[in-house]
Each structure stands twice: as C-alpha cells, then as structure tokens.
Chains A and B, each alone.
Chain A
Amino acid sequence: MQQTDMIRSVTRWARVKSPWVIHFNSGSCNGCDIEILATLTPRYDLERFGVRLEGSPRHADILVCTGAVTRQARESLLRTYEQMPEPKFVVAVGSCAISGGVFQGCYNVIGSIDQVIPVDVYVPGCPPRPQAIIDGIVGLLERLSEREAVS
C-alpha cells in the first residue's frame, strides 16, 4: 500500500471510529444540553460509538450546537468553529438551533445556527431525545465514512 493511501486510511479510521465532539451552547434553555449530556451516560452511552466529548475546538471533528444563537454568543460560536481543523462538521440540536424555536422574533436572538455557520445535520425536537441525538451523530458518521470511502 502506498504511503499516502495508508495515511488516508488510518486518518479515515480515526475520524470515523473515534470522532471528537465539542459541545456549544449558543443561548439555549438547557433542555437540549442536558439531553446531549445524557447521551454520554450509561443508558445511552454514545462513547461506545467511539465518540468522545472534547473541551477544545482545536481537537474536535464535530461541533454539536444548541440554542437560537443570542447576539452575545454569536462571536464565540464563530470563533469556536474557526478554531476547528478541517474537515469539520456541525450538528444543530433542537428546534431553537434549527429555527429559533419559541424564541423566534425575540430581540437578542439571531434565530438559527445556520445563519452563523454551515450545518451538516439537524436534529429536531424540543428537546430531541438522546436516541434522536445519537441517531443524528451516527448518521453523520455514516456519511463521513461514505465520503472517505469515495475519496
């Protein structure tokens, strides 16, 4: 196997088998955030899919976002996204992250994650259940592995 092929294959394996996730709250009520945190606890155990929650954007592959993006959070969201190395992916969790939810039209609310950064996966719900969140992330991983297989 050529050197570059091998590196690509190892990288693909590492990225798909063990994606590092960073969580960002852009001003949510916390409902989605506690369900995201629940996915890491024994009943749902997202870690068995190799998903690891990271503290720093510089090491993360996937940005999991909640909230309708308050004005105060917008810049921090952008900075977090910019600090992530390529390739990077974004999962918008919850009605607020998708469309602003009940906070549409509130002053101080931008209204959706995709008005600030590109989003790859939308997980609807208020909040979505942990199974739905896992479904969204696993769906992204499957797309990632397809994409890597093709390249």
Chain B
Amino acid sequence: MTLDKMQDRLKIWAEETQTPEANRLDVTITVGNLLAAVAVLKAEGWYLSAITGLDYGHDADRMEVLYHFCFGAETLTLRVSAPHDTPSVPSICHLIPPAVVFERELAEMFGIVVVGIPNSDHLFLPDDWDNRVFPLRKDARLE
C-alpha cells in the first residue's frame, strides 16, 4: 500500500501529517490511537523497522516516540508525544512480537514506561546500572 493510500487509511486518527522527504510520511497521533494505527499498518503488510525515542527536554515538557514502518522504498512514521516527566506508551508486542527488543531499549534509554511489555529486563545496560539514570535523556548525569 502506497503512502497516499495509508495516509487516507490513517486520517481518522492523524492529528498532523507531513512529508519531510520523498518516500516518507510522518503521521502524528495520540498515544490512545497508537495500537489501532499499528494494527492497520501491520494488516496492510508494512513491517516495523525501528522505534526511535526523542527527548525535547524538561522545559519543553515533551518526549516523542517514533514508530518507523516500511513498505518497499517507503517509510511511514507514527509520531506519539508524551509528557517529559511521566512518559508512557502502550506496548505493541501483542501485534508485533519482535518489537519487544525495540521497546526494552526505548524504556532503558529514555525512562519511557511501556505498558504491558512482556519483558522489561535491561537489553543493553549493565545489570548494576543505576535505574534512575536514562542515558539518552538530554539531562542524563553520566560519569
């Protein structure tokens, strides 16, 4: 399914859409609509290529999670915002089981709570890591 058609399918949930580059579409949705949008993409044969976390900082009071889906040469990114101090997204693992590794990384690096994640062990960080420190946050205090 091409980006145009997907844009159409997702428009009931889309708060904003942008075309930042050729073959790319960014669709901003609320966290409540994430699972529905993911289900549609999965049903149309798009695969989850990556999940990126972004920290806009405490002052901006915003974090963002980007779910990058690919189909052929095209990439459709679902963008979900969350408050900086209590960021939370639902797990998409029941729809896409291998997403667990992406979600574990997101959680340990940004401190984003992934509700319903099947395995919340650290993926990359050491066992003795201070769990209050999230390395990819802009204000992370790292030795």
Contact = CB atoms under 8 A, between A and B. Distances in A.
Instruction: Classify A-B as touching or not with yes or no (CB < 8 A).
Output: yes
Interface residues of B, number: 8
Nearest to A70: B126
A56 interface: no
A43 B108 CA distance: 45
Contacts of A70: 126
Q: Helix, strand, loop or mixed for chain A's interface?
A: mixed
Interface string B10-21: 000000000000
B108 to A, nearest CB: 12
Interface string B116-136: 000000000111110000010
A71 B143 contact: no
Contacts of B126: 70-72, 108
A107 B142 contact: yes
Nearest to A72: B126
B105 to A, nearest CB: 14
A72 B143 contact: no
B143 A107 contact: yes
Contacts of B143: 107
Contacts of A108: 125-126, 135
A72 B127 contact: yes
A71 B128 CA distance: 9
Interface in A107-135: 107-108
Nearest to A73: B126
Interface in A63-108: 70-72, 107-108
Contacts of A71: 126, 128-129
The 3 closest A-B pairs by CB, nearest first: A107-B142, A71-B126, A72-B126
Interface of A: 70-72, 107-108
Interface of B: 125-129, 135, 142-143
7 contacts: A71-B126, A71-B128, A71-B129, A72-B126, A72-B127, A107-B142, A108-B126
